Amino acid sequence: MNKHSFTLAVMALSALVAQAASPVHSTVLEYVPAPGQFVNTLPEWEEGDDAAAMAEKAYNYTNPDGSMISLGGYGGYIVVGFDHTIVNVEGVRDIYFEGNSFSEARATQGGSSEPGVVLVAYDINGNGMPDDNEWFEIRGSEYGNSISGYECTYYRPDSDEADIRWTDNRGNEGYIYRNQFHPQPYWPQWLLDRETLTFRGTRLPDNGVDKNGDGSYFVLSQFDYGYADNAPNLVDGLWNEDAKIDIDWAIDINGNSVKMPGVDFVKIYTGVNQDNGWIGENSTEVCRIIDAHVTREGSTPVLDETLEIDQTVLDAFLAAYADGNVSSVANAVGTDNMRVYLDKATGVVNFNAPNGGLAQVYNQSGMLVYSNLFKAGSNSIDLGNLPDGLYLVRIAGKTTKILKH
């Protein structure tokens, strides 16, 4: 090899190196915190910063190995993207979340866990963006103890010195309380034109306990698995398995497990709505979000680029979710906290009810075609033998329109 071709080879090699994929998230697409004691400081808001500027700052605060950002109270979220698809590797956890939880032992033994609910998206339509119907929730250990369809609205305060009131769709209300340690405004300053901020999702159970009963010592217990900022980052210097999620924990809008080929986007939102006295609101922190399939861990992890998406899994996934996460639930209708949906393939209407009651179905002519009692929990009504068309499904006195087609 002469000197010239050697130089070319080195140049080609550095080009390759420059293009190597990074296991760490490569972009922050959205950063919308709920009000909280670290909002406007993690990351810092400066006069003139708009939503795009704050998303960029959120990136700079999380990657590379930066500090962290806070999502504020319940519902506040961040959406990140990667420069490659995180492959769902069979039988192992695929995504690693760095947070600032310092619990040393599991569950009730103590800690500062502030679990964030995780959603993952595969770019089904290939437009380079996560679309609403591309998200799948990660079913963590508390899924059965959580409230789905939860909605929390915060009200912009009249002054920066006022606590920030919230109400939810379960009849509760409360405050994000100001504290002496954090004197800055708690309302996102780039969202001052919004009178309210509403967040929807799954509400995890409260995990904070006033240990001495006098407000002096709060313990925020760690959940078993499936959340961000829930478990300590490291165990014996290595990435903590409890800080990782398996893409196989993804579920669709029906609550069914989904076999996803991989993940292009990750969303995290604060999942607990609890005030812990002087510690303040439970707020999820996010540092780096990392493809866990690496050949080297640590501050500069190296991606294992030999992994490939399983074509069979991809084909089956695209066939099942060609229209995204609502392909089988085109008629999903939320009725308060009850979601009624039609499985197009079978003609079965499914719903989850907090209590038992009477279900009736009328056809377009107003004829009663179904009447039966249902129980608390999951129920189904089989309309498979009925002709296509519009039906009125009346469940516990609430009517939902379902178009069977």
Residues near Ca ion (CB under 5 A): 88-89, 94, 100, 114, 123, 125, 127, 129, 131, 229, 246-248, 283, 285
3-state secondary structure 40-92: CECCECCCCCCHHHHHHHHHHHHCCCCCCEECCCCCCEEEEEEEEEEECCCCC
- Give the full edge-to-edge strand order of the sheet including 95-97: 244-245, 95-97, 289-291
Strands (E), 98-207: 116-121, 135-138, 147-155, 164-168, 173-176, 196-203
CB of 25 to Ca ion, least distance (A): 17
Nearest to Ca ion of 57, 293 (CB atom): 293
Please say which residue, 229 or 291, places its beta carbon nearer to Ca ion.
Answer: 229
> Which residues are within 8 A (CB) of 393 and not within 5 positions of it... i.e. 6 or more apart?
340, 349, 359, 360, 361, 381, 399, 400, 401, 402
The nearest distance, CB 131 to Ca ion, in angstroms, is 4
Q: Would strands 338-343 and 348-353 be described as parallel, antiparallel, or unpaired?
A: antiparallel
Could you tell me the smallest distance in angstroms from the CB atom of residue 396 to Ca ion? 36
Q: Which is nearer to Ca ion, 175 or 362 (CB)?
A: 175
CB nearer Ca ion, residue 125 or residue 399 = 125
Distance separating alpha carbons of residues 220 and 72, to the nearest angstrom:
16
CB of 18 to Ca ion, least distance (A): 26
Nearer CB in complex with Ca ion: 93/339: 93
Cα–Cα distance between 381 and 369 in angstroms, integer?
A: 11
Element (H, E) at 320: helix 311-320
Looking at beta carbons only, is 80 or 359 nearer to Ca ion? 80
- Are 147 and 272 in contact by the 8 Å Cβ rule? The answer is no
Complex with Ca ion: residue 290 or 402, whichever CB lies closer: 290
Nearest to 40 by CA among 72, 88, 2: 72
Can you tell me which residue has the tokens 């409230």?
Answer: 147
Long-range pairs, 53-57, Cβ under 8 A, ≥24:
53/190, 54/188, 54/190, 55/28, 55/29, 55/30, 55/31, 56/28, 57/31
Pick from 126, 146, 129: nearest CA to 137: 146
Select 94 or 343, whichever has its Cβ closest to Ca ion.
94
Closest CA to 151 of 34, 36, 246, 23: 34
CB of 322: closest distance to Ca ion in angstroms? 13
User: Nearest approach, Cβ of 249 to Ca ion (angstroms)?
Assistant: 9
Shortest distance in whole angstroms from residue 145 CB to Ca ion = 20
From the CB of 283, what's the least distance to Ca ion, in Å?
A: 4
Our CB check for Ca ion shows the closer of 62 and 283 to be 283
Closest separation in Å from C-beta 281 to Ca ion: 8
